Chain A
Amino acid sequence: MVRIRAQLAKGSEARFISHLDLVRALERALRRTGLPVAYSEGFNPHPKIAFASALPLGATSEAEYFDVIFSEPVLPRQFELALNEQLPLGLRVIEAREVSLRGPALMAAIDVSFWEVAFPAPPGGRATVAAAIERLLGQGACVRVHQAKHGDREIDIRPLIDQIDLVPEGNSPEPAAAERGDGQVRIVMGLAAGARGSVRPEEVVAALADLGGFSVERGDIELKRLAMAAGRGTISPWDV
Chain B
Amino acid sequence: MTSLGREIDRILPLVTKPARYVGNEWNSVHKDHDAVDVKVAFAFPDVYEVGMSHLGSKILYHEINRRADALCERVFAPWVDMEAIMRERDLPLFALESRRPVREFDILAFTLQYEMTFTNILNMLSLARLPLRSEERGDSHPLVIAGGPCAFNPEPLAPFIDAFAIGEGEEIIHEIIDAVKEMKRAGGGVDRERLLLRLAGISGIYVPRFYDVDYFPDGTVAAVKPNRPGVPAVVTKRIIKDLDAVDYPTEPIVPYMDIVHDRAMVELFRGCTRGCRFCQAGQLYRPVRERSPQRVLALADRLIRATGHDELSLTSLASGDYTAIEPVLRELLAKHGRERVSVSLPSLRVDAFSVALADLTHEVRKTGLTLAPEAGTQRLRDVINKNVSEDDLIAATEAAFSRGWDALKFYFMIGLPTETEEDLDGIAELCGLVGRVYRRVTAGRRARPLKITVSVASFVPKAHTPFQWYGQVPVPELKRRQQYLGQRLKGRRVNYNWHDANLSFIEAVFSRGDRRLADALEAAWRRGCRFDGWTEQFNFPAWLEAFTAVGIDPRFYACRERGADEVFPWDHISPGVSRDYLRSEYERALTGMRTQDCRVGNCTLCEACPTLSARVITRDWVEAAARLNEEGRG
Report A's interface with B, CB cutoff 8 A.
12-14, 16-18, 20-22, 24-25, 27-32, 39, 44-45, 57-58, 86, 88-90, 218-221
Contacts and interface: CB of A to CB of B under 8 A. Distances in A.
B26 A29 contact: yes
A105 to B, nearest CB: 23
B25 interface: yes
A13 B305 CA distance: 24
Contacts of B308: 27-32, 86
Contacts of A25: 26, 254, 256
A17 B19 contact: yes
Contact of B22 (A17, A27, A29): A17
Contact of B12 (A16, A21, A24, A27): A16
Given A16-B22, A58-B13, A219-B10, A31 B310 contact: yes
Given A32-B307, A219-B11, 12 more contacts: A17-B256, A20-B258, A21-B256, A21-B257, A29-B26, A29-B308, A31-B310, A31-B339, A57-B18, A58-B12, A86-B308, A89-B24
B9 interface: yes
A89 B1 CA distance: 14
Nearest to B17: A18
Nearest to B25: A88
Per CB-CB distance, the 6 closest pairs between chain A and chain B, nearest first, are A28-B308, A31-B308, A16-B18, A219-B10, A32-B308, A21-B256
B309 interface: yes
B306 interface: yes
Contacts of B19: 16-18, 21
B335 interface: no
A29 B13 CA distance: 26
A217 to B, nearest CB: 8
B600 interface: no
B236 to A, nearest CB: 42
B340 A219 contact: no
Nearest to B18: A16
A67 B24 CA distance: 25
Interface residues of B, number: 26
Interface string B110-136: 000000000000000000000000000
A39 B256 contact: no
30 contacts: A13-B22, A13-B24, A14-B22, A14-B24, A16-B12, A16-B18, A16-B22, A17-B19, A20-B258, A21-B19, A21-B256, A21-B258, A22-B256, A24-B256, A25-B254, A25-B256, A28-B254, A29-B26, A29-B308, A30-B308, A31-B309, A31-B339, A32-B306, A32-B307, A57-B18, A58-B12, A58-B18, A86-B26, A88-B256, A219-B12
B309 A28 contact: yes
A25 B28 CA distance: 14
B14 interface: yes
Given A16-B22, A25-B26, A218 B13 contact: yes
Interface of B: 9-14, 18-19, 21-22, 24-26, 254, 256-258, 305-310, 339-340, 366
Contacts of A24: 256, 258
A86, A88, A218 interface centre (most CB from chain B within 10 Å):
A88
Contacts of A86: 26, 308
B14 A219 contact: yes
Contacts of A219: 9-14
A17 B256 CA distance: 7
Nearest to B305: A32
A3 to B, nearest CB: 20
A91 to B, nearest CB: 9
Nearest to A31: B308
A58 B25 CA distance: 16
Nearest to A13: B24
Contacts of B254: 25, 28, 88
A72 to B, nearest CB: 14
B13 A90 contact: no
B510 to A, nearest CB: 35
A179 to B, nearest CB: 8
A12 B18 contact: no
Nearest to B14: A219
Nearest to A25: B256
Contacts of A39: 340
B8 to A, nearest CB: 10
A135 to B, nearest CB: 26
Given A17-B256, A21-B19, A21-B256, A28 B26 contact: yes
Contacts of A90: 24
B309 to A, nearest CB: 7
Contacts of A44: 366
Nearest to B12: A16
A92 to B, nearest CB: 13
Contacts of A88: 24-26, 254, 256
A29 B307 CA distance: 8
A57 B26 contact: no
Contacts of A12: 9
Nearest to A33: B308
B13, B22, B305 interface centre (most CB from chain A within 10 Å):
B13
A93 B614 CA distance: 52
A152 B388 CA distance: 56
A60 to B, nearest CB: 11
Nearest to A29: B308
Contacts of B339: 31
B494 to A, nearest CB: 27
B157 to A, nearest CB: 33
Contacts of A28: 26, 254, 307-310
Nearest to A218: B13
Contacts of B366: 44
Nearest to A37: B340
A93 to B, nearest CB: 15
A55 B310 CA distance: 25
Contacts of A18: 19, 256
Contacts of B24: 13-14, 88-90
A18, A21, A58, A219 interface centre (most CB from chain B within 10 Å):
A219
Contacts of B340: 39, 45
Contacts of A30: 308
A18 B19 CA distance: 8
Contacts of A16: 12-13, 18-19, 21-22
Contacts of A13: 22, 24
A202 to B, nearest CB: 9
A28 B259 CA distance: 15
A39 B340 CA distance: 9
A18 B257 CA distance: 8
B252 to A, nearest CB: 12
Nearest to A20: B258
A88 B30 CA distance: 12
